[in-house]
Amino acid sequence: MTIVNIYEAKAQLSALVSQAERGEEVVIARAGRPLVRLVPIAAPLATRSPGALKGRITFFDETEIDAEIQQLFEGVEE
């Protein structure tokens, strides 16, 4: 476990983040008193899935669109 004071943490933040990413425990203290622990985020914040909203978003009222234009937008072949 690494314990560093805030002033030292400011100067070495990049190195301390790397340590935490490797699974090492990093504690930031003020005047020698532990305040916070620097830990990596366990999972990605958000995962994107292309096409996840397919069929859920409509830009036009389908009853008012010409069939040929709708085919061009949706790639529907007859």
Residue 56 lies in a domain: no
- Provide the pLDDT for residue 40: 86
- Provide the pLDDT for residue 4: 95
Length of the chain: 78
3-state secondary structure of 33: strand
CATH code, domain carrying 34:
3.40.1620
Enter the pTM of the model. Answer: 0.51
- Provide the pLDDT for residue 50: 85
- Provide the pLDDT for residue 23: 87
Burial (Cβ within 10 Å: 0-12, 13-18, ≥19) of residue 19: middle
pLDDT by position in tens, the chain (length 78): 899 999 999 999 999 999 998 989 999 999 989 999 998 887 666 677 888 888 887 766 666 667 787 788 777 665
Residue 63 lies in a domain: no
Residue 73 lies in a domain: no
Domain tally, the chain: 1
21 is in which domain, residue-wise? 2-38
Residue 62 DSSP code = G
- Provide the pLDDT for residue 49: 82
If we measure between CA atoms, which residue out of 42, 2, 32 comes closest to residue 19?
2
